[in-house]
Structure 1
Amino acid sequence: MFRTLALIISIFIAAPAAAVDLKAPFASIDGGTLALSDWAGQPVLVVNTASQCAFTRQYRGLQDLYDTYRDRGLIVLAVPSDDFRQELATNAEVKEFCELQYGIDMPMTGITHVTGSNAHPFFRTLRDKTGFAPGWNFNKVLIAPDGQVAGTFGSPVDPLSAKITGPIEAMLR
């Protein structure tokens, strides 16, 4: 009986975490598309952003994080969203704002829904599989090189905090 129970427990412990949709394309703010699967084998930090939010200053930290680790494989993907009514009206305005104010050169999607029934498939499956959904702007989702969700972080968590850099550094070693 104990052997059977141990086998059942080991199956549940060894079972991979539920996968989120990494293949659904995002519209790129530069034209064309981006998919998280494009960066398979690399850690990706996905952040729903907005240009007129109290947390907008985190763009500086996100760019610094990207600058620090990009040569070692980290991707930081900014996903502008107006779901919380704090984004500029057009992709062109968002791109210009981010480049002029923060020197952003990390990958960015076009303005995208991240909540509700119209949410992008990545965010829908994230909610369905993990229970995590952005409750505000600048929520962060760390995808491990194997494509699994390695961590989720709320708006107040600074992009350069050890809560985020620690797991990233472990993935890059």
Structure 2
Amino acid sequence: MTVYEYTVQKPNREKVSLESYKGKPMLIVNTASKCGLTPQFEGLQKLHQDYGDQGLQILGFPCDQFNNQEFDDIEKTMEHCQVNYGVSFPMFAKVKVNGAETHPLFDYLKKQQKGLLSKEIKWNFTKFLIDKEGNVVKRYAPTTSPESIEEDIKALL
């Protein structure tokens, strides 16, 4: 099984199969608009600008499970990301990354790459690096800056 088996939703609820990203490395991130780590959007956008033309796909999934740090209205989330951080990489509908209602994609990601002490996601901006074949190759802690994983990304391009 690979990430290509999963379908996600755009903010407008349109369904997207991750198979549409086949052959391209991906960085999948659970994001939040009102978090101390929110400035990581700048680094994610820079990676998108620097490596998007080589195939890198950054996929952002807003999540409100950590201290309610995401807007209730997905339109506010999208506007916040674009206006404040110039985000032009794909952002999707809000998801749950832990608990009984965990989105199936994040359940899969966590099973493939456990965190330091458990498989649960501890905070916003946990990152999963996916290779061109759809395999989860690495998981990064929320505090790991996008810039610090650039070499791992280049190795997959």
Quick one: which amino acid aligns to residue 126 of structure 1? Answer: L
- Identity over aligned residues, as a percent? 34
| Aligned alpha-carbon RMSD (Å) | 1.4
Quick one: which amino acid aligns to residue 60 of structure 1? Answer: E
Which of residues 105, 129, 154 is equivalent to 1:142?
129
Total equivalences in the alignment:
152
Segments of 4+ moved more than 6 angstroms:
none
Quick one: which amino acid aligns to residue 140 of structure 1? Answer: K
Which of residues 100, 109, 112 is equivalent to 1:117?
100
Provide the residue aligned with 1:52 in structure 2.
Answer: 34
Q: Would the aligned equivalents of 1:22 and 1:35 in 2 still touch at CA under 8 Å?
A: yes
Matched, 1:79 2:61: yes
Judged with a 3 Å threshold, the aligned counterparts in structure 2 of structure 1 residues 144 and 21 are, in CA distance, closer, same or farther, namely closer
Unaligned runs of 5+ in 2: none
Quick one: which amino acid aligns to residue 118 of structure 1? Answer: E
TM-score when normalising by structure 2: 0.90
Matched, 1:41 2:23: yes
Judged with a 3 Å threshold, the aligned counterparts in structure 2 of structure 1 residues 22 and 64 are, in CA distance, closer, same or farther, namely same
Quick one: which amino acid aligns to residue 139 of structure 1? Answer: T
Provide the residue aligned with 1:151 in structure 2.
Answer: 138
Instruction: Please identify the structure whose Cα radius of gyration is greater.
Output: 1
Look up the SS of the partner of 1:127 in the other structure.
helix
Matched, 1:106 2:89: yes
Structure 2: distance between partners of 1:96 and 1:39: 24
Shift of 1:20: 4.6
TM-score when normalising by structure 1: 0.83
Structure 2: distance between partners of 1:104 and 1:47: 13
Unaligned runs of 5+ in 1: 1-18
Matched, 1:166 2:135: no
Structure 2: distance between partners of 1:76 and 1:95: 15
Q: Would the aligned equivalents of 1:43 and 1:143 in 2 still touch at CA under 8 Å?
A: yes
